[in-house]
């Protein structure tokens, strides 16, 4: 499972924060990074994750899990020890320990709203 707490972006949402819809079928990309050490955000996807476009496949908010599938692009996240994931890769968002420790009054999905944005679809790149 992805441990979002270690994805490298600041809880103080700016007016430029993109919209992220948490519902099955939503397509999304990572557009910001969270640093749990400084409890801050930076623009741009985490290294190795900027080419990925994903789709939410299951939402269980009471169970604190959101399943998703990589639809297009490839990702090589820091936690994969250099392994590259291709379309069809499945994973889930769960509460990020570092984010929740830094922001005890936040909802666990607040981080997702800060680092992800909804896109119309995950069309393959033009060649």
pLDDT digits 0-9 by tens, 71-114: 999 999 988 999 999 999 999 999 999 999 999 999 999 999 99
Where in 48-121 does DSSP place strands (E)? Answer: 53-60, 65-72, 90-93, 116-119
Q: What is the pLDDT of residue 18?
A: 73
Given a cut of 90, whether residue 125 has pLDDT beyond it is: no
> Between 19 and 13, whose confidence is greater?
19
- 33 assigned to some structural domain: yes
- Read off the pLDDT of each residue in 7-18 and give the average, rounded to a whole number: 42
- 81 assigned to some structural domain: yes
- 37 assigned to some structural domain: yes
- 124 assigned to some structural domain: no
Q: Name which of 53, 69, 58, 52 is nearest 23 in CA terms.
A: 58
Residue with tokens 């291709």: 86
Query: Domain count of the chain?
Result: 1
- 10 assigned to some structural domain: yes
- Read off the pLDDT of each residue in 46-63 and give the average, rounded to a whole number: 95
Rounded CA-CA distance 16/81 in Å is 33
- 44 assigned to some structural domain: yes
> Which of the 8 DSSP states describes residue 6?
G
The domain of 14 spans 4-119
Rounded CA-CA distance 116/87 in Å is 18
Contact 107, 10 (CB under 8 A): no
- 14 assigned to some structural domain: yes
Rounded CA-CA distance 98/24 in Å is 26
Given a cut of 80, whether residue 9 has pLDDT beyond it is: no
Given a cut of 90, whether residue 4 has pLDDT beyond it is: no
Contact 31, 1 (CB under 8 A): no
- 127 assigned to some structural domain: no
């Amino acid at each position: 499972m992805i441990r979002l707490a270690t994805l490298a972006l600041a809880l103080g949402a700016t007016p430029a924060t993109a919209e992220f819809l948490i519902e099955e079928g939503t397509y999304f990309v990572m557009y910001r990074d969270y640093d749990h050490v400084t409890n801050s955000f930076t623009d741009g996807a985490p290294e190795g994750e900027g080419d990925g476009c994903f789709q939410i496949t299951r939402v269980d908010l009471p169970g604190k899990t959101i399943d998703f599938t990589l639809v297009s692009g490839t990702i090589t996240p820091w936690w994969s020890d250099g392994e590259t994931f291709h379309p069809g890769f499945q994973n889930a968002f769960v509460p990020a320990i570092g984010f929740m420790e830094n922001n005890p009054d936040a909802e666990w999905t607040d981080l997702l709203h800060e680092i992800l944005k909804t896109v119309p679809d995950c069309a393959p790149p033009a060649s």
